[in-house]
Amino acid sequence: MVVGSDATIKALDAAGNPSNNGMPPKQAVTITSVVIAES
C-alpha cells in the first residue's frame, strides 16, 4: 500500500492504540518495510 506519511501514521495509531479506538489489537502491529521516494 502506498500512502502519504500522515495517513500511514494515523492508520497505524488507530490499529495499535486502544485509547484511540477502544479495542486493543488482536496482534502486534509491526512495521516491516519503509520506502521513501522523492517526487
Kindly state the cell numbers that stand for 27.
Answer: 496482534
Kindly state the cell numbers that stand for 37.
Answer: 521516494
Dihedral angle at the C-alpha atoms of 31, 4, 35, 9, nearest 10 degrees?
Answer: -20
Grouping H, G, I as helix, E, B as strand and the rest as coil, residue 29 is coil
Predicted pLDDT at 32: 83
Q: What is the mean pLDDT of the chain?
A: 72
Q: What is the pTM of this model?
A: 0.38
Could you count the other beta carbons within 10 Å of the beta carbon of residue 16? 15
Task: Round to whole Å and give the CA distance between 37 and 17.
Answer: 27
For 11, the enclosing helix (H) or strand (E) is: helix 5-16
What pLDDT digit, counting tens, does each position of 20-32 carry?
666 666 777 777 8
